[in-house]
Every structure is written in C-alpha cells, then in structure tokens.
Amino acid sequence: MYARVQKIKRPNGHVDEYVQILESYREGGKVHQKLIANLGNKQVLKNQLGSLLKILKPSLLRGSESVEPEVSAPYGVVFLVHHLFSDLGLFDLFDELSRSAGFADRVALLVANRLCSPCSEHALAGWLESSYVVDRRGERFLPVWKSRGRVKVDLVWLNQFYRTLDILIAHKERIEKEMYLRLRDLFHLKVEVVFYDLTSTYFEGEGPSEIARYGYSRDGRPRNRQVLVGVVMANGFPIAHQVLEGNLRDDKTVEGVIEDLGKRFEVGRIIFVGDRGMVTQESVGFVQGQGHGYLVGLVRRRREQIIRYIESAQGPGRECAVGITVGERASLPKTWVWEVKGEGEGVRVFVVHSQEREAYERAMRERSMGRVREELEALKEQVAKGKLKSREKIGFHVAKILSRNHGHRYFDWRISKQGGFEYFEHPVRLEREKKIEGKYLIQTEEKELDAVEAVKQYKELSEVERGFRSLKDVLEMRPIYHQKESRVRAHIFVAALSFLLERVLEKKLKAAGVSLSAREALQALNTVSVVEFDVGVQKKTGVTPGSQRARQVLGVVGVSRAALPKPGQSVRRAGVVTH
C-alpha cells in the first residue's frame, strides 16, 4: 500500500494534484493496483496532511479492515512525575547517589505508582501492564511473570525494586536536605514557622519488632501493630518526616523533630506549631530551651481551666479572615478571636469561635444524642415491662449505652422511688459541651504575635492534617506488609516523596489560578494515554492530548502537551536493562 499524487491538467493549463491511496496486489502472475481512497486536493491538504496520515495510515495498511491499537494505556501521571523530577533536580540527585542501573527511573516509577494506583511491590507487575511507564530513554517497563505453577512475578525482576528501596532509604537524610534546598530556591521557601503533626499506620502481621508496637490507633485498628509517622511542613511543603515506634506518646516525639531541624536543616529561630497532643510542660519547655517559640492547641475537655478561659472571653471579638475552603466560599461563616490571660507569666491564650465548626459540632452532638436517646428509650421500655428489675442489671445496661456515642457527656439517669428507670439530660456536662462547641484554644508566649495572625497560622496546621489524608487515604500508605524495618521506612519514604510532588503540583495550580485540586489534576492526567499501532514493518506510537482539564494541567507545569522521551541506545526487555 502506498500513496501517490495524481496530476490532472485543466483546459486552462492549470494542473491540480490529488493525493490517492493505492494497494498493490498480484493476480495471475501480474501486479495490479487498486485505488483505496482519494484524500483530496494536495494544496488543500497541505497543512493537515501530516495529521491525517497519522490517523489513516494504520487502517490503510490493512485495507478496509477495522483496526484496533495493540497498546492503549494511561501515561499522563508518569509524564508529570518525570517532568517534576527534572524540575526539582531529582534525577540528577538520584543518579549521583547510586550507580545502580536504572535506580532513578525505578524511584520515579514507584512515586508515579503511589500517585495514581498505589499498590505493593508484588502488585507492580499488574499495574505496569495496564499503564504506560517508561524510563528517561523512552523504554517501557514491563514485568516478568513466572511460567510455572501459579502466576507470580519473577523474583529477579521483583528484587530490583527491593534493592531500589534499600538504596533510597540509605540516603533519606541527604535527599530530604537536598530537596529542602531546592524548594527553598525554587519557591523562595522561608522556614520561620513549622507545622508538625503525627499519624499512625498499621501492619498486616506482626511487622518489624524494632518499631512495630501496639498503641493509640488513628486508623481504628487497635489490634494491629503500628508505627507513628511525624511530618514537618513549612510554607505548605513537607520538608521532613520521621518513622517512630507505634507506642510513643505524641509529646515524646517533639524533641527529635526540633533537634533534627536545627542539626540537619540549620534553621534559625522558628515558631513550632503543633496540635493538642503535643502540649506538655516538658515538650513546650524543650522547644523554648532550644531558642524557639511555640503555638499549640489546648485540649478542650477534662480541664476546668478551659471553661474559665471560654467564659472570660467577653465583649466583641476580633473577626478573622474568611478561609478558602469550598464550604466557606458558599456560606461565608465567620470566625472571631479573643485574647485572655493565661496561666503563668508571659502565657497568652486565644479563644477562637468558628461558626463553621460550631455548626458541624452541634450537628454531630445532636446526632449522637438522638442515637443514645433511642437506646435509653428502649431500655426504659424493658424496665417498664419488668424484663429488667435489679438496679445492678439496669446500671450495667445504662453504662453500655452511655459508653457509646459519647452518651455520658449528654445524659444521666436514676431509679425513681417507685422503682422505675428515668433518664434526663445531664445538667452540667451537656451545658459544658454546648459551651465548647465551635471553640478552640491556642496558647503561645510570642509577645509580638497578633491574635488574628496566630489564628491564621494555627489554621494552617490543617494543611498537615490534609497531608496525612493524602499520605494515607489517597496514597494508601496503609496497611504495610513489609517485615523489615528498613523496607517499612523506605515504603513510607516513597509515599512522602509522592506527597511532596502532589504539593508542588498544587502550588503550581494555585499560582496559575486554576481551580483544581492536585487530586483532581492527577485524575485528569489519566486521560493522557499512549497508543501503539502495528503498521506492518514497524510500530507507530503516539500520545493523546487528553481532556481539556488535562491540557490545562500540563500548561500549568510548563508544557503544551505530553510527549514520550526520545528513545536511546539501551534496550529494556521485561524490566531488565542491557547495553
């Protein structure tokens, strides 16, 4: 099959040229030509001919048969990871750290997997078959399957990813510092306020004995061993993280974070912003002893002083700036702050009242009260019918009911003189709950810190909490199956690198005024695919432009459309590099 130009001379002497597609075939020992299609006037097609042939050529080579691509797989997220790796100098850094062939490319592969389809190293093979993942030379990563017995990944192929994790975690401290320096230069990062918070992630199985412990589970898995993960953020970027034993108290992790910031990142005086679990005299004293300031939340319940602070917040409060969440944009709830005298010399306490938070907490309380009331009514009916008579049995069932849905905060009960069961709203505890709804308290000793600015900085701690949702719910850091401590740390490090790239993307989207979250942008990029056609003597590969939102995201990072790297001299077969 071939193309030719058919010339037709007009009566006026003008020659028109038409592009035709013909097919050669042999019949009776002779070669014949068959006209397949007239594409039209060559001059008219001049500007569109290249694109037209790209579309038509695969089908033309098969005559009138319908043609399906041999490969069609998502590629947009992989392209983005490569682009950001180059922007941040990560490829150069990883090449410098290890001479292992393909190390940097495999790290990029693991990060891309975390961002678009998180899975274990064993499950990478399936993901690689359904996605178009390439190295910097444009060679595709493909898995190797064992051909005997049950279908499994070849161990030689799998081990190169385990070796990648081992090399990566061995250089964690240097990588984090180098990344911090790059972020500081690219985004004019100033570390004056750092935000720190903790989360937990659990194991399937026992986990490594060095760090896997039973402790307070933020995952709701108290029967699973876990580790704690602490993340330090500055200006919206995660700059460091720590993996700690799962049974540590929150405040016991603060010292290591502060020492690391001073030693490894050489930061000057900072204001340490932490959540309620960080507050003890010991932890606050250590922060101050290192020459830093602090801004921490106070536990609202189980402290009479908190109620006194709230009650002393009298008069008109100062209105704080409206936040930027979708809910706030829609309803524009307001937030006020009062400064009250704290316990101890130089201690300042800010009482903050948020309408948005108040509405949420009131709705949660009313829902819980409704559930508890239904159970108490059912119990009351049982007592009235004589199914429960002794005070001890009644008390046992009441205790069970009030232990659920925080019922003890809202209700109390008694046995009447006639022996009947009565329940009622608790006259003290319920009023206390209503008083603290919508309120949170912040403590600091920074003399020059304005109350409204303090609220703004503390609100930014939600960026850390949102970061944990990305690490855990989006990147699916949990559960962890690794049983070696170093592999656990490496697994979490890959998730942290992925989160860093997600934050970089989100910063770029905001700077460009694009109203997409990083997660929405990544979903849009899944519409960018690589398509491969077999056109007979060779394969043709192209990259689709993706959806309108995908093209918008690519424009934000500085490219008009995604493209495959130019193929180099190396050949990658089934994930193994040869030269």
> How many domains does the chain divide into?
3
* pLDDT tens by residue, 352-374: 999 999 999 999 999 999 999 99
Would you state the pLDDT for residue 352? 94
Q: Which of 86-95, 261-270, 421-430 has the lowest mean pLDDT?
A: 261-270
* Residues 174, 264: Cα–Cα separation, whole Å: 9
> Parallel, antiparallel, or unpaired: how do β-strands 193-202 and 271-274 relate?
parallel
Locate 238 and state its tokens. Answer: 């995660």
- Kindly state whether residues 440 and 303 are assigned to the same domain: yes
Please indicate, yes or no, if residue 157 is contained in any of the structural domains.
yes
Handedness of CA 86, 92, 93, 98 (dihedral sign): positive
Structure confidence at residue 397 as a pLDDT band (50, 70, 90): very high
Residue 230 lies in a domain: no
Is 554 a member of any domain?
yes
Residues 353 and 435 in one domain: yes
For the stretch 30-73, pLDDT in tens is 777 777 666 666 665 555 555 555 555 554 444 444 456 678 89
Burial string for 135-155 (b: 16+ CB within 10 Å, else e) reads bbbebbbbbbeeeeeeeebbe
**Both tokens of residue 130?**
């359904």
Residue 406 has pLDDT above 90, yes or no: yes
CB count within 10 Å of CB 497 equals 25
The amino acid sitting at 40 is G
Q: Both 342 and 443 in a single domain?
A: yes
3-class DSSP assignment, residue 217: coil
Q: For the chain, what is the mean pLDDT?
A: 84
| Residue 454, burial from CB neighbour count under 10 angstroms (0-12, 13-18, 19+) | buried
Which of 448, 466, 484 lies at the terminal end of a domain, its last residue?
Answer: 448
Among 402, 423, 448, the domain-final residue is 448
Asked if residue 45 belongs to a domain, the reply is yes
Confirm if 232 and 183 have CB atoms less than 8 A apart: no
Q: Find out whether 528 and 544 touch, Cβ atoms under 8 Å.
A: yes
Gyration radius (Cα) of the chain, Å = 32
Measured CA to CA, the distance from residue 229 to residue 257 in angstroms comes to 12
Lowest-pLDDT range, 32-36, 139-143, 490-494?
Answer: 32-36
Parent domain of 382: 299-448
Angle, nearest 10°, between helix axes 76-87 and 103-116?
A: 130
**Which residue is associated with the tokens 């953020």?**
233
Same domain, 53 and 86: no
CA 520 – CA 390 distance, rounded (Å): 59
